A and B are shown apart, each in its own frame.
Chain A
């Protein structure tokens, strides 16, 4: 890996001081690429934290234009940008923070049609998408291409995150073998809730890419900000999972 430049050392000095990370960790982040699937309430914060941390390349996938109801949580969108492209707004805001960052903006949501190509662009994927078919397509491609998937979700004042490591941990289809009939795309949430999960998801991505700490592999972190209860739940692989083909019953990696 090429050494850090003086500018990179100056910008990332405070995190280079983190034990177990150092200049090597920073070089790994700079050489890494991440797909953030939707840059909404969760994905805006994931992308912003990764841009701040010095990730080398981001692929942002999100269709549509900014709506008023985006602005309570989608922190890369602005009031002035109402009616304009979400990914263009996200790209502009991220480049203001980190002009060294390379960004591929895709004005599409992830789908069966583009999942193989989008996942193929990167080293790691962060799932910030609201619809299960979209998340299942992402999960299938991550398993097939052996790419780590950080899976983030929220509802009301609750959040959850887990890190799927292909071949090691349960996958999203192990957790949810069928499309949940009760889920709806629009649901109650605060930006302060999506922000917490976005930060946790970004930290998981940083850890997996740099080798720092222990990711939530086979573990679902759940929390409820109404009473600040945080739990670590151990997940099970699904016997004969149709996606990851798990055959054991032990979720711990």
Chain B
């Protein structure tokens, strides 16, 4: 199955791309998807998504389609054809 992962703000900057298609073996939680993305890219993208212990950072906003999903939501699964957006916090200035 394939899902589209979109990157926004600083996540996009460190990913170096705006979006990509990722193949998953089976439906998974948002947190598991983030770990797969972090493993795939490593380095700065992993550091912005995950803390030192490998847990998703709570300050990164995540959307499944247009709906926000919490990192600790284990009941929502990413399925074939879904679009997930990872958005780092931004401010004014």
Contact assessment for B90 and A153 in the assembled complex, using a CB-CB cutoff below 8 Å = yes
A204 → chain B closest CB, angstroms: 14
Q: Does A144 contact B (CB under 8 A)?
A: no
**B57 near A: Cβ within 8 Å?**
yes
Q: Which range holds the interface residue count of chain B?
A: 20 to 34
Interface hit among B20-28, B35-43, B62-70? B62-70
Given A232-B66, A233-B66, A233-B68, the answer on whether A178 and B58 have CB atoms closer than 8 Å is yes
On whether the beta carbons of B9 and A233 are closer than 8 Å, the reply is no
Contact B90 A158 (CB under 8 A): yes
Which A residues are in CB contact (< 8 Å) with B58? 176-178
Contact of A38 with B by CB under 8 A: yes
Task: Choose one: B63, B88, B92, B93; the contact of A233 (CB below 8 Å).
Answer: B63
Q: What's the Cα separation between A244 and B66 when bound, in Å? A: 23
Residue of B nearest to A41 (CB): B93
Contact in complex: B10, A182 (CB < 8 Å): yes
Interface flag for A95 (CB, 8 Å): no
Query: Is the Cβ of B68 less than 8 Å from the Cβ of A235?
Result: yes
Task: Check if A233 sits within 8 Å of B59, measured CB to CB.
Answer: no
Contact (Cβ within 8 A) A236 B90: no
**C-alpha gap A3/B68 in the complex (Å):** 44
CB distance from A105 to the nearest CB of B (A): 18
B91 CB, nearest partner CB in chain A, Å: 5
Report which residue of A40, A182, A185 has the largest number of chain B beta carbons within 10 angstroms of its beta carbon. Answer: A182
Interface string of B48-85 (1 = CB under 8 A from A): 10000000011101010011111000000000000001
| Cα(A231)–Cα(B85), bound, Å | 11
Q: State the CA gap A146–B88 with chains docked (Å).
A: 27
Residues of A within 8 A of B89 (CB): 132, 153, 175-176, 180, 182-183
Q: Is the CB of B92 within 8 A of A155?
A: no
Stretch at the interface among A4-12, A49-57, A79-87, A123-131: A123-131
Q: Which residue of B lies closest to A184 (CB)?
A: B10
Contact A38 B93 (CB under 8 A): yes
- Which of the residues A127, A182, A197, A226 comes within 8 Å of B88, measured between beta carbons? A182
- Give A98-138 interface residues, CB cut-off 8 Å to B: 127-132, 135
Apart from A127-B92, A232-B66, 16 more pairs, CB < 8 Å: A128-B93, A153-B92, A154-B91, A155-B10, A155-B90, A158-B12, A160-B90, A175-B89, A176-B89, A177-B58, A182-B48, A183-B90, A222-B87, A226-B18, A233-B85, A236-B70
20 A–B contacts, CB within 8 A, in A order: A128-B92, A128-B93, A130-B92, A130-B93, A132-B91, A135-B91, A153-B89, A153-B90, A153-B92, A155-B90, A176-B59, A179-B59, A180-B88, A183-B88, A183-B89, A183-B91, A185-B93, A189-B93, A233-B66, A236-B69
Partner-A contacts on B (CB < 8 A): 8-10, 12-13, 18, 48, 57-59, 61, 63, 66-70, 85, 87-93
